[in-house]
Amino acid sequence: MLKDLSFSDCFPIFPIKMALQKNRLLGYVFIMVWGTLLWQQCRSGEPLLPVSDVNFRPEALPYRNLSEYGFFVGTAASLRPNERVLPYDLITPLFSDYAWKARYVWMPDSVQATVSAQGDILFPDHTVLIKTFYYPKDFRRPNTHRQLMETRLLIKQNDEWQAYTYIWDEAQREATLSVIGDFRPASWTDEQGNRHQIEYVVPNKNQCKSCHNVHNAIQPIGPKVRNLDRSFAYADGATNQLVKWRQTGILDKSAQTDDFQALTPWDDPNSGTLHARALAYLDVNCGHCHRPEGPAHTTGLYLTADQTDKGKLGFCKTPVAAGRGSGGRKFGIVPGQPDASILLYRMESDEPSVMMPEFGRVVPHREGIELIRNWIANMEGDCL
């Protein structure tokens, strides 16, 4: 949970004047004690003062400003979740130009999510998935200063998901609805002390739909049983996320989640085989398009974690229509030869007509590329 909060974020309307009028000395003592407790509670992510309910009026959506929803306590930029706004994280997340993401889910207490036979979370109407993209100024000290870029909402109404993007102002106090997207400068220092600066792309509404596309309808990508089955450090202690979702009523207690194997953390060499890690990475970063139900289904390239058909993964597979995207290479994957493989070529590129994924990044993902390079290099066989 984010904890780089300002003093004003944690101290809303405070009855200082009333306390001082009664007795100045006792008033000061009262303020110091209450202020200390309040600050400690704020830093833990749990509000001490009573908070208002989330403001969700389906007929009035979308609101112009993010703060109008009441998802967060104090200022919207604090990202301290309101009651029933539950933070969550993913085992293997989508790469988005090294941006960090703060994810939350909210739904009225009158409804609950269930689980499909495939392990997808079936969210009810009036569910809101909240995702804020931000950059810590220094990745080595992520809880100090940060630059908020955008907050994306996926809201389900009438059995359909709608995507709304809110762009943060320079003062980092409010995010405003945008349909056309934007370009914003972003800078940070990475874990090795290297400085980076990019032009961050806030997608327009059509670009959101191009990725969140299943059978030509918008669907969430990340929150699936296999990608949620991990521990999360909540304010009241670390708990498995699926357990917490049941405890808080987000997920129906009868929902079956034990039959699905958790996704492998792509960046943890001790978590599973190189093959499992590579497929987990491709599933999240490519599989939302490259699957039978996705917009890239005509390619015949299906990059999902459960894929066992080597041909559908691209082994010795000629492209259907790659054009310049092939880089003059013949096959999607050439075992033992990453530099002869179209898959890696497109991951390494930053040219708009060549790079994959097509949206969601402007720079190549160095660590992801290294993983897929090693995966291909360690394959046996040939394409003769």
| Average pLDDT per 10 consecutive residues for the chain, totaling 384 residues | 43 44 55 52 44 87 97 92 96 96 96 95 97 97 94 96 96 95 96 96 75 70 94 96 97 93 95 96 93 87 94 92 80 96 95 85 96 97 84
Q: Look at residue 320 in the predicted model and tell me its pLDDT.
A: 80
Q: Look at residue 17 in the predicted model and tell me its pLDDT.
A: 44
Cα atoms found within 13 Å of the Cα of residue 55, Cβ hemisphere only? 15
Q: Look at residue 52 in the predicted model and tell me its pLDDT.
A: 66
Q: Look at residue 15 in the predicted model and tell me its pLDDT.
A: 44
Answer whether 211's CB lies under 8 Å from 163's CB: no
Q: Look at residue 298 in the predicted model and tell me its pLDDT.
A: 87
Q: Which residues are CB-neighbours of 65 under 8 A, at least 6 positions away?
A: 76, 166, 174, 175, 176, 177
Q: Look at residue 325 in the predicted model and tell me its pLDDT.
A: 76
Q: Look at residue 122 in the predicted model and tell me its pLDDT.
A: 96
Please give the model's pTM, rounded to 2 decimal places: 0.85
Q: Which residues are CB-neighbours of 292 under 8 A, at least 6 positions away?
A: 302
Q: Look at residue 8 in the predicted model and tell me its pLDDT.
A: 41
Q: Look at residue 5 in the predicted model and tell me its pLDDT.
A: 44
